[in-house]
Structure 1
Amino acid sequence: MIKCHLSRMMGEKKLKISDVAKDIGVNRGTITRLYQETAVRVEFEVLEKLCIYFDCDIAELLEVKKLRS
């Protein structure tokens, strides 16, 4: 399972989904799905834009969580 920390990162900076989408030139729906952790795929270009925007490493944005068996 992959955990996306976009909602936390946006909350810390008090950013809205629409602002991030507009600022990085990505569809609002894409940002919404990442924010709500319902995305099933994401383009590398979007991840790159988010990392540049938040001045973070990919590991700060996404985290692999092991599923408990």
Structure 2
Amino acid sequence: MENNFRILLAMKKLRVSDVYKDTGIAKTTLYGLYKETTKNPDTKTVMKLCEYFEVTPNEFFGIEESVVN
């Protein structure tokens, strides 16, 4: 599933191992998100990463909100 995990890591100058140490999320899960091979990430995992990176789920997944005029 497409996500911005790789971009968020680069922006914060972090490595997958840093996120693993700070969050306790399994490295295999984090690498799956990094390589975008995870088909359906667990909601708890996504929310923990959103809190860690201080982003919304939409920002994590690269979903742009459309403005209705």
Is the pair's TM-score, using the shorter chain for normalization, greater than 0.5? Answer: yes
Alignment RMSD (CA, Å)? 1.2
Q: How does 1:26-41 map to 2 (within 5 A)?
A: 26-41=25-40
Q: Which is bigger in relative contact order (C-alpha 8 A, separation at least 6)?
A: 1
Distance 1:45 1:59 in 2: 15
Any idea what the Cα deviations from partners look like across 1:19-56, whole Å, max 9, x if unmatched?
A: 10121111001000101111112111101100100011
Paired AA for residue 38 in structure 2:
A
The aligned amino acid for 2:35 is: Q
Deviation at 1:63, TM superposition (A): 3.4
Q: Which portions of structure 1, spanning 4 or more consecutive aligned residues, are displaced by more than 2 angstroms?
A: none
Q: Which has the higher strand share?
A: 1
Equivalenced residues, count: 63
The answer for the alignment partner of 2:47 in structure 1 is 48
Secondary structure, in 3 states, of the residue corresponding to 1:19? helix
Gapped runs of 5+ residues in structure 1? 65-69
